[in-house]
Each structure stands twice: as C-alpha cells, then as structure tokens.
Chains A and B, each alone.
Chain A
Amino acid sequence: MSSRPEVPLDELYREVVMDHYRRPRGRQPLSKVDVAAKGFNPLCGDEVEVALELSGETIAQAQVVSRGCAICTASASIMAEILPGKSVTQAETDAEEFRQVMHGKPFPQDRELGDLEALEGVKHFPVRVKCALLPWMTLKDAIAAFRRGERHAQTTTE
C-alpha cells in the first residue's frame, strides 16, 4: 500500500477515539432511570440514547447507547465515562464547552473531561462535528427535560 494521505486522518481518529469506538463504555442498562433522551441525526441516521440515574442534582449513573459512526460512538462512550459524579449543571457546562471546542475554541484546561480532548481534532473535519456533538446535545435535552419535570426528550440535530 502506498503512503498515508497527506491530511492527518489520525487527527480525527486518534488512538483513544478508536479505542472507545471498538470498545464503547457505558452501555450497561441502569437499574433506575430518572430521565432519558433520544437523539437522532437525520443526515446520517446516527442515533444516541442517553439514560441518567440521578441522586438529587447529581448524575449517579449514565447509560449511553449509540448507533452510528466511529466519532459518534466514541463521543458517546467518552461522555458515559465522565458523567457519573457530576452535577447536571456541570454536565450542561461540559456540553456547551465541548460544542464551542468543536466550533474552534481552545480546549478548556483544568477540567475533568476524561478522554474528551482526543476528539478535538474533529473540528478540522466540519462535516463530522455533528457526529461528535450528537451525544452531548442529547444529554442537554435530557437535562432540560429533567428540569421541566419530564422523563423523556427527543432530539434532532441538523
């Protein structure tokens, strides 16, 4: 096989990302679900389901199941890993900051964002940004539903 393409595909599919893609975390069903949301990207058909178990305002457990591309799957897996123990407000801030990173802002320092930084390279592939954001937008909707006192939400990105 000839040389690697000039553009660093590895920026998009970093080792950590590929690892989350191959072995996604946080798929185990929860014993108790306080709020759940379903996200859908009609453009590519990707689907994400987020379920949260809450203890007061704190996320005790998260289940994130995705059916989609490597980027969406990895993003969902990373999210599932870092959510437990965060307050819903903190989780919303994380989602918003990650969205801004995807739109060019530098990655926030001194924050507990686990492997999320590995997805920073997605911003160089604009058409794939939505793939990375779908789990996070779904999470935001789940939290918004929780605040409204509801148990379910449906998200569509496009």
Chain B
Amino acid sequence: MKATAVPTVIRPMRLAERFPILQRTVRGRRLVYLDNAATTQKPQEVLDALHHFYTHTNANVHRGVHTLAEEATAAYEHCRERVAHFLNAPDPRGVVILRNTTEAINLVAQSWGRKLQAGDEVIVSEMEHHSNLVPWIMLAKERGVALKHIPITQDGELDLVSYRKLLSRRTRVVAVTGMSNVLGTIVPVAEVAEEAHKVGAVVVVDGAQLVPHEPVDVRTLGCDFLAFSAHKMYGPTGVGFLVGKPELLEAMEPIFGGGEMIREVHLDRATWNDIPHKFEAGTPNIADAAAFPAALNFIEELTVEAIRAHERDLTAYAWEKLQSLGGLTLHGPADPQRRGALISFVDEHIHPHDLATVLDTYGVAVRAGHHCAQPLMRKLGVVATARASFAAYNSREDVDALIFGLLAARKYFGLA
C-alpha cells in the first residue's frame, strides 16, 4: 500500500530545471513545450539511468551467467516489478514489456482475437486513437467479427446508455480509451468494465493518456488488459506495457516466435515459456526498460495525485484564458474535473497548421492535425485541431506564452 505522504505542491519552474531539454531555446525563444500528450520530456535522472545502463550494465538478458548478464537481467526485471508496484498489480507476471501502447493493443487483438469467431462482437468507442481502433478493424476483417461503436455525447463523453444497448452475449471484447487524446475526456472505465463483465466480455483499456495523468490501481480500475507507453510519462521511447490478468495471459497464445519466448524447441515443434516471457520474443529494449523506473521514481516523488492537481489547475486556467479570447472552439468536457491535461481547439479563422507554425516561431510547441483519431475528427466536423497538452513541469507562464502566441498569430494573419 502506498504511504500517505504530505501532499506535494508542484513548483513547475523548479521541476523544469531537472529537464535539460527545457533549458534550450527554439528559434531564439525559451522552449514552451505543450505537446506532452505526444510524448513528454525526460528528466536528468532518466537520462542518467540510460547512460548508466550502457556504461555499466549492458548485456543481453535471460541468457548468460556472467555478471553483466545477471545485472542486466535484474535491471530489466526490476522494471517489471516497478510497473506492477506503480499500478498496484498483484503479480509482476502480468506485466508484459513491449514497445508501446500500440504493440500492447495489437498483442491482445491478435492473440485474444484468435478465440473469436464470425458473429462475435467487439465494442470500441468513437473517440479511440487509431491504435485502439485499427487492430480491431484488422481483427474484424480477418475473423468476420463485427465491430460496434459507442457513440459520444455532445460534450464529448461516452454515451453509456447507448453502450448498454450494444452489449449482448455476442460481445467478446470491449476496448476503450481511459482518457481521450483529443477531447481530454476521462472515461468511467470501472463502470464500462462492470457492464462488459456481466456479458462475459474482456475489457481492454488504452491507458496511454490515463496512466501518466491519473492515479491508476489496476485492482479497482476493473479492466482485464491495460496498455500504456513509458514515453508519455517521463520515460524513454521504445518501451510500453501490457498489464493483464495473469490467468488471461496464460490462456493466450504468443504472436511472435523466437528466442526468449520458448521453453523447449525441436526441429518441428516448440513449447512456450511462462508468462510474461512467452510474449517477449527476441532481445527486448533492455536499456530503455532499465531506465524507466527512474521515471516512475520521478512521478512517485511528486505523487500522481499532486501531478493531477497541478495539471487540472493548469488546464482550468488555460481553458478560461482560451475561452475569453473568443473566436475559438474548445473541444471536450468543459468541467476540469472531468478532463485530463489537454485542450484541443480550433480558431475560427486560422487553420491549426498555420497556428502551430506561428506558435513555433514563439518557441511554443503544440500539436496540429488529426491526432490519430480521424473518425473522431469527422464526428466533430473538423479536419484538424490544435492541441495543447500539459505535464508536471508546465506552468501558468507556459499557458500565457500560448495565449501570447495565439494573439500574435491573429495579428499576423490580420485578424486582430
């Protein structure tokens, strides 16, 4: 259990000092990094951990008796244990170390998907990132499975009434995001999961945005599989996780064959290693996995609760500022308590692409585009949005820089 610590108050300016990249300038300005939903920056501790691995520990894992092999294996396995602890998962064997969220969801779709037959149904929502949509489209195509969609309401929340109507005995999988990367909506996963379990479906949660920003306890979250990426939570790129119920993982076939994942191999047959190793074929991303615990330490030092409180405050501040500018459409729930640390918006007159280019000249990094959620964009009736997304090191000054840049863009385009 987590000890109840004194509530931390986040001082973003102080925190930013721990991120070397935040000290650089962009086009002659202080970098104001507001593209955290795409990937966060990494603190010095994480960079040090990476460096340390390659300068002290580097060896392959699970296949050597020498000291380095032993240490590298321990460092890699430590990552698994830290992730299990971070999410209060009962058993580290339920933590599969992969490349990213996308790979984790594909693993479930391809492997659990083999249990599905024509006529079975998979339910996703209309606000999914392509990585929690396309793997299911592929499965539907391969196996004749029907794909159903939970609609979203006017304020960008899941329409739970419609969801209940979609559920039936044929529902085998319900795959939803924990937090929308476009709308910021926080999805009531526990409620979704409870309903799904009543009809015997398994629940897959795309936690790419949820896990970095909200406290997550897999025992109460209620899902069967949770996918997320280290790089969106101050960790290195190239490492992501599938956290599954061990008994479900046991019942799944591996989708990649090769080294590490086997127990015994003959010329014409093989038996699989235990979970989670049977899903980790080949040499994994050892160094980045070994460095990830440093990112978890960073988060735990601040506490997820404090990060959330800070980000909510920032998001509310940004929402109000953007709203008061006028001429902008802000997407997603207006209530900061119901949304995560990002705001998607569209200026009435300036295309998001032009806006992002002008903002960049002011050192402000935002995302412009469809955010890998084309069906959702269609639903919102826009081709693209600009998105500002926050992390623990962002400050109100960063939001002010965004607003300043926006006003400058309007002036530049002759609109102010």
Q: A46 to B27, alpha carbons, bound, how many Å?
A: 27
Verify B384–A125 contact, CB threshold 8 A.
no
* Docked complex: B363-416 residues within 8 A CB-CB of A: 368-370, 374, 377, 382-384, 407-408, 411-414
Query: A69 contacts the other chain (Cβ, under 8 Å)?
Result: yes
Residue interface mask B71-109, A partner, CB < 8 A = 1: 000000000000000000000000000000000000000
Binding-face segment, B133-141, B221-229, B270-278, B352-360: B352-360
Complex interface: chain A residues within 8 A of B382 (CB): 45
Q: A44 to B358, alpha carbons, bound, how many Å?
A: 16
Query: A42 contacts the other chain (Cβ, under 8 Å)?
Result: yes
Verify A45–B377 contact, CB threshold 8 A.
yes
Q: Which of A7, A47, A68, A69 has its CB near the most chain B CB atoms (within 10 A)?
A: A69
Q: With A44-B383, A69-B353 in contact, do A6 and B28 touch (Cβ < 8 Å)? A: yes
Query: A13 contacts the other chain (Cβ, under 8 Å)?
Result: yes
Verify B369–A43 contact, CB threshold 8 A.
yes
Query: A5 contacts the other chain (Cβ, under 8 Å)?
Result: yes
Verify A5–B362 contact, CB threshold 8 A.
yes
Q: A29 to B273, alpha carbons, bound, how many Å?
A: 66
Q: A22 to B415, alpha carbons, bound, how many Å?
A: 11
Complex interface: chain A residues within 8 A of B370 (CB): 42-45
Residue interface mask A3-33, B partner, CB < 8 A = 1: 0011101001100001000100000000000
Query: B63 contacts the other chain (Cβ, under 8 Å)?
Result: no
Verify A44–B374 contact, CB threshold 8 A.
no
Query: Which residue of A12, A18, A22, A43 is within 8 Å of B357 (Cβ)?
Result: A12
Residue interface mask B17-42, A partner, CB < 8 A = 1: 00000000001110000000000000
Query: B329 contacts the other chain (Cβ, under 8 Å)?
Result: no
Q: A5 to B353, alpha carbons, bound, how many Å?
A: 18
Q: A22 to B357, alpha carbons, bound, how many Å?
A: 18
Query: Which residue of A13, A18, A44 is within 8 Å of B368 (Cβ)?
Result: A44
Q: A42 to B370, alpha carbons, bound, how many Å?
A: 8
Query: A70 contacts the other chain (Cβ, under 8 Å)?
Result: yes
Residue interface mask B210-251, A partner, CB < 8 A = 1: 000000000000000000000000000000000000000000
Query: Which residue of A7, A42, A69 is within 8 Å of B28 (Cβ)?
Result: A7
Verify B411–A7 contact, CB threshold 8 A.
no
Verify B374–A70 contact, CB threshold 8 A.
no
Query: B351 contacts the other chain (Cβ, under 8 Å)?
Result: yes
Complex interface: chain A residues within 8 A of B351 (CB): 68-70
Query: Which residue of B353, B358, B407 is within 8 Å of A9 (Cβ)?
Result: B358
Which residue of chain A lies nearest to B405 when distances are taken between CB atoms in the complex? A5
Q: A115 to B27, alpha carbons, bound, how many Å?
A: 28
Give 27 CB contacts A-B under 8 Å. Answer: A1-B408, A1-B411, A5-B27, A5-B362, A6-B27, A6-B28, A7-B27, A12-B357, A18-B414, A44-B370, A44-B383, A45-B369, A45-B370, A45-B377, A45-B382, A45-B384, A46-B353, A68-B351, A69-B351, A69-B352, A69-B353, A69-B354, A70-B413, A71-B353, A71-B354, A125-B357, A128-B353
